[in-house]
Structure 1
Amino acid sequence: MGPAELIVLTFPQEAITAESARALAALRTAGDIRVVDALVVTRRADGTVEYAEVGEVEHLQGVVAAGGHELPLIGPADAQEAAALLAPGSVAVVVLIEHLWAQSAAAALGAVGGRIASGVRIPPERIEEAVRAARARSGR
Structure 2
Amino acid sequence: MRPTGPVELVLIEFPQSDFKGEIVAELARLVDGGTIDVLDALLVRKAQDGTVEWLEASEGGDDELARIVGEPAGLLAADDADDIAAELAPGAAVGMIVFEHTWARGLAGAVQGAGGQVLDWTRVPAEAIDALAGEIEKEN
- Structure-1-length-normalised TM-score: 0.77
> Equivalents in 2 of 1:109, 1:42: separation in Å?
41
Map 1:67-106 → 2, pairs under 5 A: 68-83=70-85, 86-106=88-108
Task: Please list every run of at least 4 consecutive aligned residues from structure 1 whose deviation after the TM superposition is greater than 4 angstroms.
Answer: 64-67
Contact 2:39 2:69 in 1 (8 A): no
Residue of structure 1 in register with 2:123 after alignment: 121
Give a deviation string over 1:41-97, Cα, whole Å, max 9, x none: 1132334332110111123x3235559422222112322343355433222211111
* Corresponding residue to 2:44 among 41, 56, 59: 41
Equivalent residue letter for 1:27 = L
Partner of 1:6: 9
Paired with 2:88 and 2:136, the residues of 1 have a C-alpha distance of 32
Alignment coverage as a number of residue pairs: 137
Contact 2:44 2:52 survives alignment (8 Å): yes
TM-score, normalisation: structure 2: 0.77
Instruction: Return 5+ residue gaps in structure 1 as ranges.
Output: none
Contact 1:35/1:63 (<8 A) preserved: no
Asked if 2 retains the 8 angstrom alpha-carbon contact of 1:28 and 1:63, the reply is: no
Q: Is the 8 A contact 1:28 1:64 kept in 2?
A: no
Equivalent-residue separation in structure 2 for 1:53 and 1:121 (angstroms): 26
User: What RMSD, in angstroms, separates the aligned Cα atoms of the two structures?
Assistant: 2.6
Q: Mark the runs of 5 or more structure 2 residues left unpaired by the alignment.
A: none
Letter matched to residue 60 of structure 2: V
Partner-residue secondary structure (3-state), 1:78:
helix
Q: 1:55 aligns with which of 45, 53, 58?
A: 58
Deviations 1:2-46 (A, max 9, x none): 221111122232253334432333332332000011111113233
Partners in 1 of 2:130 and 2:89 — Cα distance? 25
